[in-house]
Structure 1
Amino acid sequence: MRFKRKSKDPHIQNLAAIVGERHILYKKEDLLAYDCDGFTIHRHLPKAVVFPQNTAEVARAVKYCHDHDLPFLARGAGTGLSGGAVPLNGEVIISLVRMKRLLSVDVENRQAVVEPGFVNLKLTHAVSDQGYYYAPDPSSQYCCTIGGNVAENAGGAHCLKYGVTTNHILGLEVVLPNGDVIALGQNGIPDEPGYDLLGLLTGSEGTLGIVTKITVRILKEPEAKKTVLAYFDNVADGSQAVSDIVSAGIVPAALEMMDQVAIEGVEAAAFPVGHPKDIEALLLIEVDGIAAGIEEQVQEILEVCQKRQVREVKVAQDEQERARWWANRKTGFGAMGAISPDYLVQDGVIPRSKLPEVLQKINEISEAYGLRIANIFHAGDGNLHPLVLFDARKPGETEKALKAGSACLQACADVGGTITGEHGVGIEKVDEMRMVFNEEEINAQTDIRDVFNPKGLLNAGKLFPTPGRCAEVKQEAKSV
C-alpha cells in the first residue's frame, strides 16, 4: 500500500495505531473496491478498511469499535454472493486477507489448522502430496477463503456425499463483538459437552463473531474416481434420472445438472468442452471410494440414464478429460457473463422429487418477467442455482431481476424447500426469510444473535429482516 498522509479523523488514527499506518485504507478512491462483495447490486462505502495480521490485532480493533460504537464487519476474499460483506452502515471493515497462513498439518489425526484468509484450494494443494485433501469445494475455491466458507457454511459440488463446511470444522478461535477471544473445539475435538457452539458459529454469516483460527478435517484421497457425463433432450428426463440414481442406492460424490441456457453460457466462455447446443440438460456425475465396486456403480448409472431416454452418456477416459468437464462446470456462474451483461445468482433448496415441478415453475417465472434464467445446480441434494440474466443498463430491469429471483425462492419454499443452501442470506434474502420462518421463529434467532452481539455493531442488517418489514415480498412472489 502506498504511503499517504495521516487522516485527521481520530478513529482512523487510533485504528491505524493498532494495525500500522500501511495497513489501513480510508480515502474514497481506496475504499471503492470494498463497497460490495460478489453481490454487486447494492454498493455502500465503508468508513475504513483495516488489515490485521493476527488475532491480537483483530481483538484490539474489535474492542476499539465496540467501545466507541463504530459499526464493523469482517471480510475475506469478497466472493460471497448474498451481500454479507457489504458495509450498509459505514462500517469499519476488518479484512482478514493478511491472516493467510497454514499453521499446522496433523496427518495422523487428519486435521489442519489455518488462518481465516487461507484460500480453500490451497489447503488441498498443501496436503495432496501426503494423499489427503479438503472436501468442501465451492465453485470459487481457487480464490475464496476458509474463513468466509465458515461464515457462509459453504458447500460445493461434492457436498452430496461429503457434506458442507460445518461437517469439516473441528475447532474455531473467535473474537466476540466486544473484543474477547474464545476457543471452541479444543484439541480438534468438536463434540465437547454442552451446546454446539461450533455449529452455531458456522453459517452465522459474521453476525456473532469474527473467526481468526480454524481447525479443519482433512480426508484421505479415495482409491478410485470415475466421472460420467450424460446428455438429455428433455429436462424432465434428466431430473428423473437424478432421483433414480439416488433411489438405486448409489451415493455419488457429486451429481450436478445444467440446463440449456447454462450450457450455452459455459460453451461460450473460457472452458468449452463441446456440449451439444440443442440438448435441454446435462448431468455430471462422479463416484469415488475404494477401487472395488466403482465400475459396478458406473454401470448402474449408465443403465439408469439409458432408461430415461438419455441421448448420450460417457465416462471420462482420463484425468485430463475429467478435469476439463469440471472446469467447464465450476466456472458456470462467471460464464454467464459471456451471454448476458449482468446476472443474479439465486440459491434455493428443494426435495429431489420436486425437481421437474420447480424447474417448470422457474420457466414460467422466466416468461412472466421476460428474463432468461439459467439453471446450474447440485441436483443430488436439491440445491438449485437459478441465474437470472438481465441488463442493468435498461431502466427497471435490475428490479425485475430481483423480483424474479425472489419468485424462484418462493417456488422452492412452496414445495417444502428453503431459500439458501450455501450462499447465505446476507442482505439479498433478508425479506425472503419470512418465506420459511414466522415472526416468532425469527425473533428466537435474533434473540440468540443479541446474546453475542448486544450492541448490534457487528454486521448489522444481515441475515434477518427488520421486524414488521416487507411482508409484501412473500405475497408478491406468490402472485407470479
Structure 2
Amino acid sequence: MKIVGEKDVLYLKEDLVAYECDGYTMTKGTPKAVVFVKNTEQVSQIVKYLNSVKVPYIARGAGTGLSGGATPLGGEVIISLVRMKKLLHLDLENRKAVVEPGYVNLKLTQSISDKGYYYAPDPSSQYACTIGGNVAENAGGAHCLKYGVTTNHILGLEVVLPNGDIIQLGEEGIPDRPGYDLLGLLTGSEGTLGIVTKITVKVLKNPEGKKTVLAYYDDINDASQAVSDIISAGIIPAALEMMDSTAIEGVEAAAFPVGHPKDIAAFLLIEVDGIAAGIDDQIEEILTVCKNNNVREVKVAKDEAERALWWANRKTGFGAMGAISPDYLVQDGVIPRTRLPEVLAKIGEVSKKYGLRIANIFHAGDGNLHPLVLFDARVPGESERASKAGSECLKVCADAGGSITGEHGVGIEKSAEMRFIFTDEEIESQTNIRSVFNPEDLLNPGKLFPQPGRCAEIKQELKKAEAQ
C-alpha cells in the first residue's frame, strides 16, 4: 500500500469476486488482492516486492480474455493495468502511436479516424478489450486475414521483467532489427514472460474504397467451397466471415438483428478494401464465385449504415449466444481452409455425441473456427460435458493439420490440449524459455503449458471417447 496508496488496493472478499475469472468462466479462483497501478515505476516496485516475499502475481487488463489467462489459481495478487490508459504519443507522419496497456483497442481508431487513420487489429471485444491484453494474447479479429494479428502491428514494447527490471524492446521505425525477435517472443506469451507497460503500434491510412457483401446459403458445404474459391481466384478480402444456422439464430435474437432468413444454413460476410479503382472488379468476381456455389441470395451493402449493421450483427456473435443459451463455451481452433466441410461435419458429430448444440462462428478466410458449445450450468453434468465437447472440437482441428488456438490464447482452458500439437520435448523447450525470464514461475503461474494431473485426465477422457 505504500507504493500505490490504500485506496488503490482491494483485499476484501466482496471486492475480489469480480476478479475470480476473465471471459472464460469455467474455472474461477480468488486472488489475494488487486492492486491498481498508474505507471511503469509502480509496476516495477510491486513486482520487486512480491518477488521478495515469494507471492505470485498476474497482470490483468479489461478481463475480456477467453482462455482464463487472467484467472487466479492459487491466491495470486492481480496487478490491474486499467488505469494506465493514455495515448502517449501520435506520429502520423511515421504512422505510429504509443499507448499504455490499459488503452482500449477501439478507442485508438476513434482517436485518429478523423485524421484518416485507423488501427487494424479488431477483436470482437474491441469496444472493451485493451491493447495490452491484445499483446499478451496476440489477438486477431475479423480483418486479420489481410492485415495480420497483433504481432504484425507492434513496433516496440516497454516491459517489466519478473525481477522488476524495466526494458525496452524494438526500435521505433525499424521493422526488422538484427538479433533475436524478442518483440515476437513477448507478443502472445500470455503474460508469462513480463508485464507490458508501453506499446508502440503501427497505424494505417484508411483505404480509399471499401465494400461489403452478404451471401446466404442453403448448404454449409457450398458456403465453405465459396470461401476456398474466393481465395483461389487471387482475391484476398479484408475479411471473410461465416456463421452457421445456430449462430445466426443467436445474433438475430440479440441487439443488432439484420433480418437474416430463418431457414438458411450459413451466411458469408465478405469485405474488400483498397484502391478505389479496383474495388468494383473484386466485388464482381466475388459475386460470380458465390453464384457458382449455389448461393440463395447475395447482395452488396447499399451504404455505410447497412454495412455497419451487418458488422454489428457479426461482432455480437459471442455475446448473442446468451439469448439462446444460459451458458456457452467458446473454442478457438484453426484448420486449413480446404478441410472446412470435413471439420464442420465432425464438430456436428461431437454435438450429437454430447447432446449439446454447437454454434459455429468463424474467420473462414484464414480457417479460424469458433465452435460455441451451448449448455446450462444449472443442469448437473452439463458443464463437464461441455468441457469435453470443447476439447474434442480442438482435437478435430489438430487432427486436420491445424492448431488449438488462433487468437484467444491457451491460458488454462487449453493447456492440456497443447499435447495435441506439441511433443513433450517441444513443450520442455518452451518452458525452458519461460524459465529464463520467469525462473520462479511467480508471474502468471499455471498458465499456457500442461499441468501433469490434468494432462493425464485429458488423455484418459480422449481414449474413452475414441472407444465409444
Q: Is the pair's TM-score, using the shorter chain for normalization, greater than 0.5?
A: yes
Cα distance 1:296–1:474, how it changes in 2: closer, same or farther (>3 A)?
farther
3-state SS of 2:277 partner: coil
CA displacement at 1:471 relative to structure 2: 3.9
Looking at structure 2, the residues matched to 47 and 117 of structure 1 have their Cα atoms a distance apart, in angstroms, of 22
Looking at structure 2, the residues matched to 469 and 26 of structure 1 have their Cα atoms a distance apart, in angstroms, of 30
3-state SS of 1:258 partner: strand
Identity percentage over the alignment?
Answer: 77
Tell me if 1:276 matches 2:255: no
**Which residue of the partner structure matches residue 180 of structure 2?**
195
Contact 1:435 1:474 in 2 (8 A): no
The letter for the 1-side match of 2:451 is T
Tell me if 1:444 matches 2:429: yes
Looking at structure 2, the residues matched to 390 and 306 of structure 1 have their Cα atoms a distance apart, in angstroms, of 36
Looking at structure 2, the residues matched to 38 and 234 of structure 1 have their Cα atoms a distance apart, in angstroms, of 32
**Which residue of the partner structure matches residue 172 of structure 1?**
157
Superposition map of 1:427-438 within 5 A: 427-438=412-423
Which of 294, 318, 333 does residue 333 from structure 1 map onto?
A: 318
**Which residue of the partner structure matches residue 34 of structure 2?**
49
CA displacement at 1:472 relative to structure 2: 4.8
Looking at structure 1, the residues matched to 460 and 16 of structure 2 have their Cα atoms a distance apart, in angstroms, of 38
Which of 109, 116, 138 does residue 94 from structure 2 map onto?
A: 109
C-alpha distance after superposition, 1:208-260 (max 9, x if no partner): 00000000000000000000000000000000100000000000000000000
Looking at structure 2, the residues matched to 348 and 220 of structure 1 have their Cα atoms a distance apart, in angstroms, of 31
CA displacement at 1:369 relative to structure 2: 0.3
Tell me if 1:156 matches 2:112: no
The letter for the 2-side match of 1:317 is K
Cα distance 1:72–1:175, how it changes in 2: closer, same or farther (>3 A)?
same
The letter for the 2-side match of 1:146 is I
Looking at structure 2, the residues matched to 252 and 186 of structure 1 have their Cα atoms a distance apart, in angstroms, of 31
**Which residue of the partner structure matches residue 10 of structure 2?**
25
Looking at structure 2, the residues matched to 413 and 474 of structure 1 have their Cα atoms a distance apart, in angstroms, of 15
**Which residue of the partner structure matches residue 391 of structure 2?**
406
CA displacement at 1:191 relative to structure 2: 2.0
Tell me if 1:138 matches 2:123: yes
**Which residue of the partner structure matches residue 347 of structure 2?**
362
Contact 1:190 1:198 in 2 (8 A): no
**Which residue of the partner structure matches residue 439 of structure 2?**
454
The letter for the 2-side match of 1:403 is K
Structure 2: gaps spanning 5 or more residues: none
C-alpha distance after superposition, 1:262-298 (max 9, x if no partner): 0000001111000001000000000000001100100
Looking at structure 2, the residues matched to 120 and 105 of structure 1 have their Cα atoms a distance apart, in angstroms, of 15
Contact 1:410 1:474 in 2 (8 A): no
Looking at structure 2, the residues matched to 188 and 126 of structure 1 have their Cα atoms a distance apart, in angstroms, of 21
Tell me if 1:205 matches 2:170: no
**Which residue of the partner structure matches residue 392 of structure 1?**
377
The letter for the 2-side match of 1:102 is L
**Which residue of the partner structure matches residue 226 of structure 2?**
241
Give runs of ≥4 in structure 1 deviating > 4 Å.
Answer: none
Looking at structure 1, the residues matched to 40 and 252 of structure 2 have their Cα atoms a distance apart, in angstroms, of 44
Aligned residues: 465
C-alpha distance after superposition, 1:121-162 (max 9, x if no partner): 000011111100000000000000000000000000000000
**Which residue of the partner structure matches residue 61 of structure 1?**
46
Looking at structure 1, the residues matched to 44 and 445 of structure 2 have their Cα atoms a distance apart, in angstroms, of 19
**Which residue of the partner structure matches residue 367 of structure 2?**
382
**Which residue of the partner structure matches residue 252 of structure 2?**
267
CA displacement at 1:302 relative to structure 2: 0.4
CA displacement at 1:189 relative to structure 2: 2.7
Cα distance 1:367–1:424, how it changes in 2: closer, same or farther (>3 A)?
same
Contact 1:169 1:190 in 2 (8 A): no
Looking at structure 2, the residues matched to 364 and 43 of structure 1 have their Cα atoms a distance apart, in angstroms, of 30
Which stretch of structure 1 is more off in the superposition, 40-49 or 210-219?
Answer: 40-49
Contact 1:171 1:190 in 2 (8 A): no
C-alpha distance after superposition, 1:82-101 (max 9, x if no partner): 00000111000000000000
The letter for the 2-side match of 1:54 is N
3-state SS of 1:470 partner: helix
3-state SS of 1:278 partner: coil
CA displacement at 1:115 relative to structure 2: 0.0
Which stretch of structure 1 is more off in the superposition, 461-470 or 340-349?
Answer: 461-470
Superposition map of 1:406-425 within 5 A: 406-425=391-410
Cα distance 1:431–1:18, how it changes in 2: closer, same or farther (>3 A)?
same
Tell me if 1:80 matches 2:65: yes
The letter for the 1-side match of 2:416 is D
TM-score by length of 2: 0.98
Looking at structure 1, the residues matched to 161 and 50 of structure 2 have their Cα atoms a distance apart, in angstroms, of 12
Contact 1:229 1:314 in 2 (8 A): yes
Looking at structure 1, the residues matched to 173 and 63 of structure 2 have their Cα atoms a distance apart, in angstroms, of 28
Which of 119, 127, 135 does residue 104 from structure 2 map onto?
A: 119
3-state SS of 1:18 partner: coil
Contact 1:160 1:381 in 2 (8 A): yes
TM-score by length of 1: 0.96
Contact 1:432 1:474 in 2 (8 A): no
CA displacement at 1:470 relative to structure 2: 1.6
3-state SS of 1:244 partner: helix
The letter for the 2-side match of 1:56 is E
Which stretch of structure 1 is more off in the superposition, 437-446 or 465-474?
Answer: 465-474
Contact 1:419 1:432 in 2 (8 A): yes
**Which residue of the partner structure matches residue 297 of structure 1?**
282
Tell me if 1:255 matches 2:201: no
Looking at structure 1, the residues matched to 52 and 456 of structure 2 have their Cα atoms a distance apart, in angstroms, of 35
Cα distance 1:439–1:468, how it changes in 2: closer, same or farther (>3 A)?
farther
3-state SS of 1:348 partner: coil
Looking at structure 2, the residues matched to 180 and 208 of structure 1 have their Cα atoms a distance apart, in angstroms, of 12
3-state SS of 1:349 partner: coil
CA displacement at 1:51 relative to structure 2: 0.5
3-state SS of 1:78 partner: coil
Contact 1:434 1:471 in 2 (8 A): no
Cα distance 1:128–1:165, how it changes in 2: closer, same or farther (>3 A)?
same
Tell me if 1:319 matches 2:308: no
Looking at structure 2, the residues matched to 469 and 423 of structure 1 have their Cα atoms a distance apart, in angstroms, of 20
CA displacement at 1:466 relative to structure 2: 2.4
The letter for the 2-side match of 1:85 is A
3-state SS of 2:139 partner: coil
Looking at structure 1, the residues matched to 288 and 107 of structure 2 have their Cα atoms a distance apart, in angstroms, of 37
